[in-house]
Chains A and B, each alone.
Chain A
């Protein structure tokens, strides 16, 4: 399967701990996106990369959140000093730089902060 993959699929952590998630995009896709989805809501945009450059960040992305895509391939999303409000599904998507910019999503990482 050559779709978007995310690791881990589930993460349970205690409040105050740091967590890191990984996303591997579809291999020829140069754009990579992170979204957050809380229960009963649609996904909300967090940030996006074109190759290794982080081009846009949402207001939702507080100082405790940092995302990287060092070699323009996989990306990591780190949350420092987690809070219960960070509990959500974190979705990664990738696309190929074209007029349609169709985004393909991974299975997500479900974070539970106790």
Chain B
């Protein structure tokens, strides 16, 4: 089955850029998503990218997809304390039903 991996922690200073990385194994991915989860809460959809795209920008968020290396990244510009949360990448596969396969999440800590 699909395996999605993320680094566990990232610490940045307020105002810097954050880059959260994700790798996946199945090349038949169709859509790839980034979700944000704050403590005790559900998942908030941040953005998504279709597998035939290389990049998508949405305000402070930039998603880069390297399909050859099966690598996805989320860049947050001008990171704020309110961005502190756990960030999950998730992959939707062709022929994988409609289930999302999630990574283990990256905890982003923004320091003053």
- How far, in angstroms, from A105 to B43 measured CA to CA in the complex? 6
Asked whether, in the complex, the Cβ of B41 is within 8 Å of the Cβ of A56, the reply is no
Using known A-B contacts A101-B31, A102-B48, A107-B42, determine if residue A56 contacts B97 with beta carbons closer than 8 Å: yes
Number of interface residues, chain B, beta carbon within 8 A = 24
Stretch of A12-20, A41-49, A72-80 lying at the B interface: A41-49
Which partner residue on chain B sits nearest A4 by CB separation?
Answer: B42
Q: How far is the CB of B36 from chain A (nearest CB, A)?
A: 11
Q: How far is the CB of B26 from chain A (nearest CB, A)?
A: 14
Asked whether, in the complex, the Cβ of B98 is within 8 Å of the Cβ of A31, the reply is yes
- How far, in angstroms, from A102 to B30 measured CA to CA in the complex? 12
Asked whether, in the complex, the Cβ of A45 is within 8 Å of the Cβ of B42, the reply is no
- How far, in angstroms, from A31 to B90 measured CA to CA in the complex? 18
Asked whether, in the complex, the Cβ of A45 is within 8 Å of the Cβ of B101, the reply is yes
Asked whether, in the complex, the Cβ of A48 is within 8 Å of the Cβ of B97, the reply is yes
- How far, in angstroms, from A4 to B77 measured CA to CA in the complex? 29
- How far, in angstroms, from A108 to B41 measured CA to CA in the complex? 7
Which partner residue on chain B sits nearest A58 by CB separation?
Answer: B99
Q: How far is the CB of B4 from chain A (nearest CB, A)?
A: 8
Asked whether, in the complex, the Cβ of B101 is within 8 Å of the Cβ of A40, the reply is no
Q: How far is the CB of A69 from chain B (nearest CB, A)?
A: 14
Which partner residue on chain B sits nearest A95 by CB separation?
Answer: B98
Residues of B near any A CB (own CB < 8 A): 4, 31, 33, 35, 40-45, 48, 50, 88, 90, 92, 97-105
Query: What are some 25 contacts across the A-B interface (CB < 8 A)?
Result: A6-B42, A31-B98, A40-B104, A41-B105, A42-B88, A42-B105, A43-B88, A48-B97, A48-B98, A56-B97, A58-B99, A100-B31, A100-B48, A100-B50, A101-B98, A102-B45, A102-B48, A103-B45, A103-B100, A104-B45, A105-B35, A105-B44, A105-B45, A107-B41, A108-B41
